[in-house]
Structure 1
Amino acid sequence: MPWSDGSYKIKKVISIGTVSELTGLSERQIRYYEERKLIFPERSKTGIRKYSFQDVETLIEIANQLEEGVLTHEIRKELKRREQLIDPKVVRNSLLQGQLNAHFK
């Protein structure tokens, strides 16, 4: 199966209108979350925002947290922390460090 690795979730192909329908958020709310650096759509050559399924999930999570009273800067901090945990460079460096530690002990 070509998509069994879940890579389809990160492909930015969804328009803001479709994201609005999927999440129940207005286009204005989605653009506001982008302004607050909570979500990072890609732009087509003509400037149209494109989102991924992962972005849709993140937007729903953001909306739920805001509804619970969490502030946008707190959400941004958490998203950044989470992103660093799964950053391939960080993971690779961590694995290499572990291998070096095991080799020299």
Structure 2
Amino acid sequence: MTLEEMFRDLYDKYGNDFNWYMIPFAQADGAFVAELNKEIGQDHFLYGKKILAVAKCESNDDVLYVLRNGTGRDIYYLFHLTYSAHNADGFPQYEEFADLFAVKEFIERSYIEDYM
């Protein structure tokens, strides 16, 4: 499953009310990555890594990022951005996912619980 297929499945299932959108590839290393680096600070294990923002929730400040770890296996992180300077330990809050199936399950479950 690709990221595009995952979101197409969710859009097909939930229609126009589904509250996530994919970030265009040309913007994947732009503002959302800069914001993430600002919030996590230099001591965070993801700081300065080649991470890309791939999707954003329209209903809150959740952003889905992908890290290509060089072994052919992508790791996904969903961060709840705070839009403030470097935060205390534990913030911004995030979830780590080993694959797109786990990402899809989490996003779909959150959508159902929080917005339906």
Q: Same fold (TM over 0.5)?
A: no
More strand by share: 2
From the two aligned structures, give the one with the greater helix fraction: 1
- Which TM-score tier does this pair reach, normalised by the shorter chain? 0.3 to 0.5
TM-score, normalised relative to structure 2: 0.31
